[in-house]
Structure 1
Amino acid sequence: MEITAADLSQVSGGAAGVEATEAATLSGDFETFLKMLTTQAQNQDPFNPVDATEYASQLASFSTVEQQVLTNELLSNLTQIATGSGLERLAGWIGMEAQTVGAAYFDGASVELFTNVPEDAQSGVLVIRGADGTLHNRIALEAGTETYLWDGSDLAGARVSEGVYEVELEVYRDDILDETREVGAYLRVNEVARLDDVNILTLRGGVMREVAEVTALRRAEA
């Protein structure tokens, strides 16, 4: 999925348009009220004029409503800053490493994979495939194995090339494949963006994940 600047401007532009419309509506209502008040004063019965206190009461009532609308708009803006897109806060993630599942990046150094083989399993098999789905390795793991350092070797014992690899865990019970589980790994965060009200991270190797899919965050190793 490619995120473009046009996509982002469309999302932010929609929110700005709503705020501008609300402000214009409020301003128009206030001007209408003043015109009505002026017309009422010009056309009142000179022998039975409207009491000044009533004018003040009408103006105060509208002023109260106006202030309430402005307050609601201010609170809405503050909420959006605090809990809205969150891009300002997420910008601090760039350069850090986020743990997500399903993909790992091999660059020549061993990759830590979070396997979490169940204690009640007979065994587990770590399955490593290329981005195109090609099988590169199947590694047997004992029950209770929580992490595994993959040195980049394939089925023949040779080193694979640098790049993104898909990882998953097969869990066996009674010599039967009982379930398939996700495997986690850390990937460096290269970019944060927002599309369709969802915060998206672009990780090393072009892997894209929603922020909600991140299970841990750490500083990148020097």
Structure 2
Amino acid sequence: MDVTSSSTTGSGAAAAAKSKTSTESAAEGAMTADFDTFLKLLTTQLKYQDPLQPMESTEFVAQLASFSAVEQQIGANTRLDSILSALTNGASEGFADWIGKEVRAPTSAAFTGAPVDVGVTPVEGADKAVLVVKNDFGTEVARVNVDPAADSVTWDGTDSAGGTPASGNYSFALEGYAGDTLLSTTGGSVFAKVTEVRRTEAGNTELVFATGDTVLASQVTAVR
């Protein structure tokens, strides 16, 4: 299968994230320094206060509130940095740049009547191959004989009766045969638009498509 990629994929996000990370690191460093200074001043003030004229309770509470606000801001900045890292450099390839673009992956295609290009993996030893098309309900709508050696085929958008199926999401699979014996069935890949990038509980990067399907970013073979 031919693998293509956008020349700008990841590079813009990486540069922007690097610049932004440097700025945020400097800001966080300054805030942390201020936080440490605040703690030193507060403890020194408590240590040397006049026991006959101790700090007013309202003033003490106000200073503790300031202490808590600074602490929470530092924690919030740390969490925001983690999110940014997960969606840019931390996700290895700047996958956030893929939002709004089309990628080729083993998912369904949004069919509206136009032909659909499908990436397939030829079945070793097959002398016959059939592209199987199913609708969103898993019902087979077409079977098309294709070149068993091809790594990319096209569904012209017609069903087994020669008509045009209703618009919707359609999935594809390639059946490889040796004579009349089915050797194996492999899934087809199509271009679909990415609408969301997210991290799974296992720490993997997952793409969400306009069709509602999801795949791991590692399953993508092309970007356009």
Kept in 1, the 8 Å contact 2:102–2:194? The answer is: yes
Report SS of the residue matched to 2:137: coil
In structure 1, the residue matched to 2:206 is: 200
Listed as ranges, the matches of 1:141-160 within 5 Å are: 141-160=146-165
Match of 1:95, SS? coil
Counterpart among 98, 101, 104 of residue 96 in structure 1? 101
Residue 161 of structure 1 aligns with which residue?
A: 166
Partners of 2:210 and 2:162 in 1: how far apart? 25
What letter matches 1:204 in structure 2? A
RMSD over aligned Cα atoms: 3.2
Matched, 1:140 2:145: yes
Deviation at 1:143, TM superposition (A): 2.3
**Where in structure 2 are there 5+ consecutive unaligned residues?**
1-31, 41-77
Aligned residue-pair number = 150
Q: Percent sequence identity over matched residues?
A: 30
Q: Is the contact between residue 126 and residue 167 of structure 1 (CA under 8 Å) also seen in structure 2?
A: yes
Within-5 A mapping of 1:161-180 = 161-180=166-185
Higher mean alpha-carbon deviation, 183-192 vs 108-117, is at: 108-117
| Deviations, residues 57-89 of structure 1 (Å, cap 9, x unaligned) | xxxxxxxxxxxxxxxxx9xx89x94753469x2
Provide the C-alpha distance between the structure 2 equivalents of 1:104 and 1:155, rounded to a whole number of angstroms.
Answer: 18
Match of 1:171, as an amino acid?
G
Stretches of structure 1 that go unaligned for 5 or more consecutive residues are 1-22, 32-73
SS in 2 for 1:138: strand
For the residue of structure 2 that corresponds to 1:128, the secondary structure is strand
Q: For the Cα contact (< 8 Å) 2:134–2:172, is it kept in 1? A: yes
- Secondary structure of 2:96's partner? helix
Counterpart contact for 1:190–1:202, Cα < 8 Å: yes
Contact persistence 2:119–2:188 (CA under 8 A): yes
Structure 1 segments of 4+ aligned residues over 3 angstroms from their partners: 80-83
Q: TM-score, normalised by structure 2?
A: 0.57
Q: Deviations over 1:118-142 (max 9, x none)?
A: 4731101111111211110111123
- Is 1:210 the counterpart of 2:216? The answer is yes
1:191 corresponds to: 196
2:135 is the counterpart of 1:130: yes
Structure exhibiting the larger radius of gyration computed from Cα positions: 1
Question: SS of the counterpart of 2:114?
Answer: coil
Q: Please report how far the alpha carbon of residue 195 of structure 1 lies from its aligned counterpart in structure 2 after TM superposition.
A: 3.1
**Distance in 2 between residues matched to 1:133 and 1:118, nearest whole Å:** 23
DSSP-derived class of the 2:113 partner? coil
**Residue 103 of structure 1: CA displacement?**
2.2
TM-score in terms of structure 1 length: 0.57
Contact kept, 8 Å, 1:111 with 1:150, in 2: the verdict is yes
Residue identity matched to 2:208? T
Residues 97-112 of structure 1: matches in 2 within 5 Å?
Answer: 97-112=102-117
Amino acid at match of 1:206: G
- Alpha-carbon contact 2:128-2:179 (below 8 Å) kept: no
